[in-house]
Amino acid sequence: MSIAARLPSILIANRGEIACRVIRTARRLGLRTIAVYSDADAEALFVEMADEAWHIGPAPARESYLDAETILAVAKQANAACIHPGYGFLSENADFAEACAKAGIVFVGPPASAIRAMGLKDAAKALVEKANVPVVPGYHGAEQGADFLRAEARRIGYPVLIKAVAGGGGKGMKKVDRPEDFDEALASAQREGKNAFGDARVLVEKYVLSPRHVEIQVFGDSHGNVVHLYERDCSLQRRHQKVIEEAPAPGMTDEVRAAMGKAATEAAKAVGYVGAGTVEFIADGREGLRADRFYFMEMNTRLQVEHPVTEAITGLDLVELQLKVAAGEPLGFGQADVTATGHAVEARLYAEDPEKGFLPSTGKLWALRFPEGEGIRIDTGVEAGDTVTPFYDPMIAKVIAHGATRDEALDRLGAALSETIVAGPRTNLAFLKALTEAEGFRNGPFDTGFIERNISGLGAEPQPLDAAAVAAAALQLEEERQAEGLLAAAGRSDREARSPWLVADGFSLMPRPALGLALLVDGERVEAQIEWHEEGARVSLPAHEIGEGEHEITLAQAERGTYLALHRGRQTAVALFDPFSVDLDAAAGTGGVIKAPMHGKLIALFVSAGEAVVKGQRLAIVEAMKMEHVLVAPRDGTVTEVAGEAGAQVAEGAKVVVLGE
How many Cβ atoms are within 10 Å of 277's Cβ, its own excluded? 27
The residue-averaged pLDDT of 181-205 equals 89
Instruction: Assign domain 3-108 to a CATH class.
Output: alpha beta
**Any idea where the domains of the chain sit in the sequence?**
3-108, 112-136+211-231+249-339, 137-206, 467-580, 584-660
- At the fourth CATH level, which superfamily is domain 112-136+211-231+249-339? ATP-grasp fold, B domain (3.30.470.20)
Lowest mean pLDDT across 107-116, 130-139, 394-403, 427-436: 130-139
pLDDT at 14 over 60: yes
Give a three-class secondary structure readout of 137-183. Answer: CEECCCCCCHHHHHHHHHHHCCCEEEEECCCCCCCCEEEECCHHHHH
Instruction: Assign domain 137-206 to a CATH class.
Output: alpha beta
pLDDT tens, position by position, 361-395: 999 999 999 999 999 999 999 999 999 998 998 99
Question: Within the chain, what is the greatest distance between any pair of CA atoms?
Answer: 91
Instruction: Assign domain 467-580 to a CATH class.
Output: alpha beta
Rounded to 5°, angle at Cα 92 from 86 and 93: 115
Residue type, 99: A
pLDDT value of position 583? 55
CA distances from 251 to 244, 381, 406, 426, 437 (A): 17, 34, 11, 35, 19
Tell me the range of 193-202, 371-380, 551-560 where mean pLDDT is highest: 371-380
pLDDT value of position 1? 79
pLDDT tens, position by position, 251-260: 999 999 999 9
pLDDT at 498 over 70: no
In this prediction, residue 137 has a pLDDT band, given cuts at 50, 70 and 90, of confident
In this prediction, residue 501 has a pLDDT band, given cuts at 50, 70 and 90, of very low
CATH architecture of the domain 584-660 equals Beta Barrel (2.40)
Which DSSP string do the residues of 209-225 spell out, in sequence order?
SSEEEEEEEEEE-TTS-
pLDDT at 488 over 70: no
pLDDT at 542 over 70: yes
In this prediction, residue 549 has a pLDDT band, given cuts at 50, 70 and 90, of low
Positions marked active-site? 302
pLDDT value of position 544? 81
